[in-house]
């Protein structure tokens, strides 16, 4: 590497250094002033001696030896070491590469933000759905715990037909028996009004009249109520206070409804308890004196009595109009709405 010689701008001391230091900042070895190493051309021009002043003639003396002009000092050399060697200049990267990197970084950040937000929203939705499901499950469990246990279905226990009311026993099972030689199970029990009578309707089957059943006409005295009332009827009892019983059945499902009326000669025990949960519990033993030995016995529940819903008139029985006589049994028909046997 060639040497570069240039004067210090402060003390005019000549400095010698490598060309590598051109444009770099160094310290003058003599006066310690910080200076910038000039380029090679500038350093060479600074060392050209200035021209002599105009009009000044050289002075010569004859016979006298003219001493030669003293040579300028050789200058002090700048020895690297006090300053570290300047690093090689870094190559400048293109602006396009810089913009590409910025674009890639922005794309990565944007994609991460989009997918991160989507993942976060889905996670929040799942957490909310899980919380709602857990809350609903807890509410259902609480409702199930608070709800009363469903009553067990009563067994169907057969009863023994008898017209001896004292020997009659009510089984602790669902009310059942037989009508006209066909098995009978009480599917529904209702109490409706017909004139002055409260009618207990025990039936099997759907439809307005069902397939078969019993209608029991109950008569209450002044101040009496259905709830908490008991009826015991022996086959010898007669009179207006005795409940009347209407047996209804179909020989076939498509046949017309048949019926038979009983006002005496049967045996019955009927108990209606106190109303609870909108129903009235009941127990019954009813044996009819027909050739088929029709019977119903067991436990049932009925809806409260209705004062607006009339009982459908039995087939072939026409209720008399109030105040219309119809023979010796007109009082009976007027009171119960059915013809006397």
At 102, the pLDDT band (50, 70, 90 cuts) reads confident
pLDDT in the model for residue 291: 93
Whether 81 and 203 share a structural domain: no
Closest alpha carbon to 271 in 300, 250, 248: 300
The answer as to whether 183 is a domain residue is yes
The answer as to whether 186 is a domain residue is yes
Whether 191 and 332 share a structural domain: yes
Whether 80 and 192 share a structural domain: no
Whether 76 and 213 share a structural domain: no
The answer to whether 8 touches 36, Cβ cutoff 8 Å, is: no
Tokens 């046949």 -> residue: 255
Mean pLDDT of the chain: 78
pLDDT in the model for residue 294: 96
pLDDT in the model for residue 269: 96
The answer as to whether 192 is a domain residue is yes
Rounded to the nearest 5 degrees, what angle is found at the Cα of 153, between the Cα atoms of 149 and 156?
Answer: 160
User: Which of 58, 86, 114 finishes a domain?
Assistant: 86
Whether 199 and 301 share a structural domain: yes
* 3-state SS, one letter per residue, for 44-72: HHHCCCCCCCCCCCCCCCCCCCCCCCCCC
Whether 80 and 190 share a structural domain: no
The answer as to whether 196 is a domain residue is yes
Give every CB contact of residue 252 below 8 A, 6+ residues apart in sequence.
none
User: Which of 86, 110, 134 finishes a domain?
Assistant: 86
User: Which of 31, 56, 86 finishes a domain?
Assistant: 86
Give every CB contact of residue 286 below 8 A, 6+ residues apart in sequence.
177, 214, 216, 245, 266, 267, 268, 269, 270, 295, 296, 297
The answer as to whether 40 is a domain residue is yes
- pTM of this structure: 0.50
How far is Cα 24 from Cα 29, in angstroms, rounded to an integer? Answer: 15
pLDDT in the model for residue 259: 93
Which has the higher per-residue pLDDT, 31 or 45?
A: 31
Instruction: Kindly tell me the burial class for residue 29, based on how many C-beta atoms sit within 10 Å of its own C-beta (0-12, 13-18, 19 or more).
Output: middle
Domains: count for the chain:
2
The 10s digit of each residue's pLDDT in 204-254 is 988 777 889 999 999 988 888 888 999 999 999 998 889 999 999 998 888
Indicate the range of 187-196, 246-255, 319-328 predicted with least confidence: 319-328
The answer as to whether 296 is a domain residue is yes
The answer as to whether 123 is a domain residue is no
Mean pLDDT value of segment 28-55: 71
Say yes or no to pLDDT of 263 above 90: yes
The answer to whether 16 touches 76, Cβ cutoff 8 Å, is: yes
The answer as to whether 231 is a domain residue is yes
Whether 79 and 197 share a structural domain: no
pLDDT in the model for residue 224: 87
| Structural domain containing residue 269 | 176-311+325-336
The answer to whether 46 touches 6, Cβ cutoff 8 Å, is: yes
């Amino acid at each position: 590497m060639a040497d570069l010689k240039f004067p210090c701008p402060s003390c005019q001391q000549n400095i010698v250094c490598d060309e590598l230091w051109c444009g770099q900042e160094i310290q003058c070895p003599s006066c310690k002033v910080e200076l910038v190493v000039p380029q090679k051309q500038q350093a060479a021009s600074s060392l050209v001696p200035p021209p002599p002043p105009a009009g000044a003639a050289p002075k010569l003396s004859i016979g006298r030896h003219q001493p030669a002009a003293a040579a300028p000092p050789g200058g002090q050399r700048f020895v690297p070491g006090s300053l570290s060697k300047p690093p090689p200049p870094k190559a400048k990267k293109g602006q396009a590469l810089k913009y590409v990197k910025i674009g890639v970084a922005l794309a990565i950040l944007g994609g991460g933000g989009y997918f991160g937000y989507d993942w976060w929203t889905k996670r929040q939705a799942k957490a909310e759905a899980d919380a709602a499901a857990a809350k609903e499950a807890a509410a259902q469990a609480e409702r199930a715990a608070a709800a009363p246990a469903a009553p067990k279905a009563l067994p169907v226990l057969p009863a023994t037909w008898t017209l001896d009311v004292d020997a009659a026993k009510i089984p602790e099972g669902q009310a059942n028996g037989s009508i006209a030689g066909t098995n009978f199970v009480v599917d529904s029990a209702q109490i409706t009004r017909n004139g002055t009578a409260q009618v207990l309707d025990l039936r099997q089957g759907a439809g307005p009249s069902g397939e078969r059943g019993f209608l029991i006409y109950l008569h209450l005295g002044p101040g009496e109520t259905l709830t908490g009332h008991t009826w015991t009827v022996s086959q010898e009892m007669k009179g207006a206070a005795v409940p009347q019983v209407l047996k209804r059945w179909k020989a076939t499902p498509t046949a017309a409804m048949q019926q038979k009326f009983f006002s005496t000669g049967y045996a019955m025990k009927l108990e209606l308890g106190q109303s609870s949960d909108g129903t009235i519990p009941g127990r019954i033993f009813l044996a009819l004196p027909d050739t088929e030995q029709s019977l119903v016995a067991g436990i049932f529940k009925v809806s409260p009595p209705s004062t607006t819903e009339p009982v459908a008139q039995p087939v072939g029985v026409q209720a008399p109009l109030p105040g219309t006589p119809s023979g010796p049994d007109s009082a009976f028909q007027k009171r119960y709405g059915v013809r006397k046997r």
